[in-house]
Chains A and B, each alone.
Chain A
């Protein structure tokens, strides 16, 4: 494991004025950083700054939420720069798309997007440093090489200059065309592929890491909000007498989004909110319930949906099949439950708005700030903090709207709005619920010849359009329309079934339930064909060699087919998503009427692995996330609102329930895929398939209920 200096140490050391080779980065005032005003700067891009003391600052245009972007993105630059990693520091960019480009973090896309440009950034700076050294030595640049932040010329008395010493000269050179600079051959990678420790480790283990909730400003107020409990409701009447009597409570405000209590500390705000007496107008969804939504889904499921893919003729093949199977599967609404509740800090004056937001999509925060304050983007500054978990929840900007709305009413005083856990649970943008109709037909020799997968589910983007959207929701069909198995007659259908429940992106979103259904039903077909579930899949995967390879690796590593102790069984599942290929084998038992997942063997092909420690961490995390959902996760709707309130009724996996996770990363030379989500979809079906192997009970509805 490679560790490095913390940012704090970096800044302390950097407080020496001097020349800085800045590839375009124009520093914002950042406490502790000192760059001489007359330091030379260049501007081909905004992501790299090399100081004359040899320290290297890399500006990360993605949000750090635990996926390790503040480590992995700098690694890409440092690799091509041949930088001394111990001299590299990372900072998160504030929101400025004109400088930092696409700043949205989601869809397991950060590495995929940065892979080429950030390596080119490093290579560009390296070329300039080499050129500067070559001129000083009066030798051809092609004779120089670089290593560990030095340019070296291999003469008898080897010449060697540190990057810091070359910064001033290099900064005076023209910037070469980034597209033309030569990138390394993968075999020459020194950093990429290493287990590099997370950049933020020193700050995290000492409590210095600053999440949204940890922003502290002089004169800051603390606030919380009660939002309408029913989706689309409104506050009708507020009795705030008792709330205002709570010591520390300063104000009660009615905003567009709810009732805010402003206080001298968060606890007083929470206590005040408890004492508010609000009469709510429950609005148009007052009668909405989980039961009503299920009934609506079932009704809609009767008619065929819009075809997202059609191979051969499903109907004809199904009618002729030697053996047929039909099933209905269901998945519930789910919450992100980031451990850091939603929050945001803002200061608004007539001229300016400044926001400290734990957000994945600062562009949405900007939209809210402009809408609420009426200020131009140029007068609005958005700082992106660390996130105590994102998982898609922080794509939304509702928490920021709260902070801006409250700040606007506080005469320029900064305010931090913190939602209670209960508000966080009930004011979510939930992973959509769904109903799935699946039908399969086998040939006389047990080959699947017909397959139908009809998804009935609301559309995340559609629900934000006034007409609810039309036709196939491609995102919702992720994993179904791309079904990897060779089945000659296959149809994928989408039935749009919008509800009044706010829905949003979640870790692996629709791939989570689509893979659960697809891989469980494939298991049903394998058993109906009296075939081994691994062999059955492998025969159908010739057109998806990377998934097939992952499946073979997982099955071998899990000793598939070998005997297990009595009372244990294995199940398998495979799924490709976010450009990655993942197969898992779960080993389960049932003890004292409780399902126990003992071990998950996971093989994953993400192409080039930037940092194995982080890819493995994402796999472990995805599996834990999937298990929380499979074992416990369900948001129940009654009277147009969420029933659950805290971790007592929305439990998460605990340390005692974590299976042993055995990871096998497939060595690949392809460009890197996403890694934060693709290990999630196979977990639930692998576990359910293992449970079937053990008990003969088929789980067709999540979360798993053994006695249902």
Chain B
């Protein structure tokens, strides 16, 4: 039985084994390579996506766990890269190698959706599972704060 989920707004049916991690379905079956492999065991956050809006480690989520759900990857966070978090990430010039950044951005976006005014502790708690070997942490925190301000500005403008 194929498993059906909505990925970045598109309904996808997949015949892969139900225990196949979402990470590899995204990357190798659907060709959505923005979601990265770093550790495979939930320790690095490079594979973070949203499942029904919640930050989820795609390397640990079996395909069967997303049946009927909404999956959002970095490619689907915004149509044109203008999500407040994506804009803030560019404004703070966060990325070094950039490999961890899709995961960082997805974790940050999930945090801000839940908590529009996160404290520094909230930010650290939401991102503590996302490793960055290049050491961009100082800018990541600055970018989350900036994204919160941008998001607030947008909410006011609406």
Contacts and interface: CB of A to CB of B under 8 A. Distances in A.
Interface of A: 1, 3, 65-68, 195, 197-198, 200-202, 204-211, 213-214, 216, 222, 247, 264-267, 270, 337-341, 386-391, 418, 420-421, 613-614, 617, 620-625, 646-648, 652-656, 658, 660-661
A207 B33 CA distance: 7
Contacts of B100: 339, 388
Interface stretch (B110-118, B125-133, B149-157): B125-133
B39 A658 contact: no
Given A195-B93, A202-B90, A622 B135 contact: yes
30 contacts: A66-B96, A66-B97, A198-B95, A201-B90, A204-B98, A204-B101, A207-B102, A210-B33, A213-B33, A265-B24, A265-B28, A267-B21, A270-B40, A339-B134, A340-B36, A340-B97, A388-B99, A388-B100, A620-B138, A621-B96, A621-B134, A621-B135, A624-B132, A624-B134, A624-B137, A647-B131, A655-B123, A655-B141, A658-B137, A658-B138
Contacts of A621: 96, 134-136
Contacts of A205: 74, 81, 86, 89-90, 95, 101-102, 105
B97 A420 contact: no
Contacts of B29: 265
B96 A420 contact: no
A341 to B, nearest CB: 7
Given A339-B38, A655-B130, A201 B33 contact: no
A65 B134 CA distance: 10
Nearest to A264: B28
A497 B38 CA distance: 34
The 8 closest A-B pairs by CB, nearest first: A207-B34, A624-B135, A388-B99, A66-B97, A66-B96, A207-B74, A204-B98, A267-B24
B148 interface: no
A646 B137 contact: no
Contact of A623 (B16, B125, B135): B135
Contacts of B77: 206
A337 B134 CA distance: 10
A505 B69 CA distance: 46
A338 B133 contact: yes
Contacts of A210: 33
Contacts of B27: 213, 266
Contacts, number: 183
A480 B101 CA distance: 37
B117 to A, nearest CB: 19
Q: Which of A207, A617, A621, A653 has the most CB of B within 10 A?
A: A207
A389 B74 contact: no
A201 B96 CA distance: 9
B97 A646 contact: no
B93 A613 contact: yes
Interface size on B, as a range, is 35 or more
A340 B27 CA distance: 14
Interface in B20-45: 20-21, 23-24, 27-29, 31-41, 43-44
Given A205-B86, A624-B137, A647-B131, A213 B37 contact: yes
A504 B138 CA distance: 29
A267 B20 contact: yes
A390 B98 CA distance: 12
Q: Which of A201, A214, A390 has the most CB of B within 10 A?
A: A201
B10 interface: no
B51 interface: no
Contact of A421 (B16, B20, B39): B39
Contact of A67 (B20, B86, B96): B96
Given A202-B81, A267-B28, A620-B136, A652 B131 contact: yes
Nearest to B144: A655
Contacts of B91: 1
Nearest to A6: B81
A12 B146 CA distance: 31
B139 A620 contact: yes
Q: Which of B28, B29, B93, B135 has the most CB of A within 10 A?
A: B135
Nearest to A265: B28
A65 B98 CA distance: 9
Contacts of B31: 216
Given A207-B35, A648-B43, A652-B133, A247 B96 contact: no
Nearest to B107: A655
Given A211-B36, A624-B137, 8 more contacts: A207-B75, A210-B33, A216-B31, A340-B36, A340-B99, A617-B139, A654-B131, A655-B128
Contact of B93 (A266, A388, A389, A617): A617
Contact of B36 (A3, A213, A247): A213
A200 B43 contact: no
Contacts of A209: 98
B5 interface: no
B19 to A, nearest CB: 9
B93 to A, nearest CB: 5
Contact of A386 (B74, B97, B135, B139): B97
A677 to B, nearest CB: 13
A646 B39 CA distance: 7
A65 B81 CA distance: 22
Contacts of A267: 20-21, 23-24, 28
Given A207-B35, A339-B97, A389 B124 contact: no
Contacts of A270: 40
